[in-house]
């Protein structure tokens, strides 16, 4: 399981780094919320559950970054 967490962490860091302006961050948060809604509408396999956690983590990181702009 550590490999999955490492992979998720790297993905979150990579994706968060792409967004450097408040507008871009807000847009990505909206996109991630839609991805979560889509995943919630499916039967959750182990991989889907990991993806769901990753999307939530990315939103958490981006929300913190957006707060830092204020």
Contact 22, 66 (CB under 8 A): yes
Q: What is the DSSP letter of 48?
A: H
Structure tokens at 57: 């983590």
Read off the pLDDT of residues 7-63 as tens digits, 9 standing for 90 and up.
889 999 999 999 999 999 999 999 999 999 999 888 878 888 899 999 999 999 999
Model confidence, pTM: 0.88
Q: What is the DSSP letter of 1?
A: -
Q: How confident is the model at residue 1 (pLDDT cuts 50, 70, 90)?
A: very low
């Amino acid at each position: 399981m550590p490999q999955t967490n490492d992979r998720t962490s790297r993905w979150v860091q990579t994706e968060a780094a792409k967004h450097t302006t408040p507008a871009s961050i807000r847009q990505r948060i909206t996109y991630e919320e839609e991805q979560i809604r889509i995943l919630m509408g499916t039967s959750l396999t182990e991989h889907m559950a990991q993806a769901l956690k990753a999307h939530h983590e990315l939103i958490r990181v981006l929300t913190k970054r957006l707060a830092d702009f204020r």
